[in-house]
């Protein structure tokens, strides 16, 4: 089963100023997320961005926020993005099945969102090299659980080329430069 670009929306979960410095492999995480965001932008995939209690955890980090087209983060206080009226409404308005997910923390907000999305009939697509936690083992266990619950696990390069579908196009050329 391929993931169709026209049925996909990207979800960037809680990559925030006060939490980010404590995340495992954060330098590589931000680079991977930037590649993902830029590639999905070339493919015209729309974005939803969330922030967990921004009064306490700060805003989305600038290297991420500055490159997301039309970034207007949705504030939330529940761990899962689902169940928040603004998020649910925003997601429904896209009328898309595949939710391409990046964010932190893998074992809390990302995991709970994935579980709820799957329960609601969406297909979560977790970009493994674009999620992390403070502790590596928490991420590892969370990815295992997400896979068991039906999430598709992918990587930045894999998802971008899957959505691109063919070589030789201008889109392919742009994405190819990004992932190198």
Report residue 168's pLDDT band, with 50, 70 and 90 as the boundaries: confident
152 vs 98: CA distance, rounded Å? 10
CA dihedral for 101, 105, 107, 108, sign (positive or negative): negative
Average pLDDT of span 151-158: 96
Options 82, 109, 130, 164, the catalytic residue: 109
> Whose CA is closest to 124, among 5, 6, 8, 2?
8
Which tens digits make up the pLDDT trace of 2-23?
899 999 999 999 999 999 999 9
SS3 74: strand
CB contact at 8 A, 126 and 159? no
- The pLDDT, as a whole number, for residue 49 is 96
Residue 46 burial (CB count, 10 A): 15
The string over 105-126, giving b where at least 16 C-beta atoms fall within 10 Å of a residue's C-beta and e elsewhere, is bbbbbbbbbbbbbbeeebbbbb
pLDDT of 65-74, one tens digit each?
A: 999 977 789 9
- At the fourth CATH level, the homologous superfamily of domain 5-179 is Isochorismatase-like (3.40.50.850)
Q: Is pLDDT larger for residue 58 or for residue 180? A: 58
Mean pLDDT of 45-64: 94
- Catalytic annotation present for 109: yes
Note the pLDDT of residue 143: 98
Structure tokens at 12: 């960037």
Q: Pick the catalytic residue from 14, 35, 130, 139.
A: 14
Who contacts 119 (Cβ-Cβ below 8 Å, separation ≥6)?
none
> pLDDT-derived band of residue 180, with 50, 70 and 90 as boundaries?
confident
82: annotated active-site residue: no
Active site residue 88: no
- Tokens 């696990």 belong to residue: 153
Instruction: Answer for the pair 13, 36: CB distance below 8 angstroms, yes or no.
Output: no
Pick the catalytic residue: 33, 76, 116, 130?
A: 76
What pLDDT is attached to residue 117?
98
């Amino acid at each position: 089963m391929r993931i169709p670009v026209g049925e996909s929306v990207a979800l960037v979960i809680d990559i925030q100023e006060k939490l980010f410095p404590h995340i495992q492999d954060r330098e590589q995480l931000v680079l991977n997320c930037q590649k993902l965001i830029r590639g999905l932008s070339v493919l015209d995939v729309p974005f939803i961005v969330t922030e967990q209690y921004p009064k306490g955890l700060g805003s989305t980090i600038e290297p991420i926020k500055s490159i997301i087209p039309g970034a207007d983060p949705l504030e939330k206080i529940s761990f899962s993005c689902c169940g928040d009226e603004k998020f649910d409404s925003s997601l429904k308005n896209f009328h898309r099945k595949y939710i391409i997910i990046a964010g932190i923390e893998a074992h809390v907000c990302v995991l709970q969102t994935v579980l709820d999305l799957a329960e609601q009939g969406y297909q979560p697509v977790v970009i493994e090299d674009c999620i992390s936690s403070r502790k590596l083992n928490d991420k590892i266990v969370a990815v295992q659980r997400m896979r068991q619950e039906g999430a598709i696990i992918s990587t930045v390069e894999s998802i971008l080329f899957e959505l691109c579908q063919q070589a030789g196009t201008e889109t392919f050329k742009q994405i190819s430069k990004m992932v190198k």
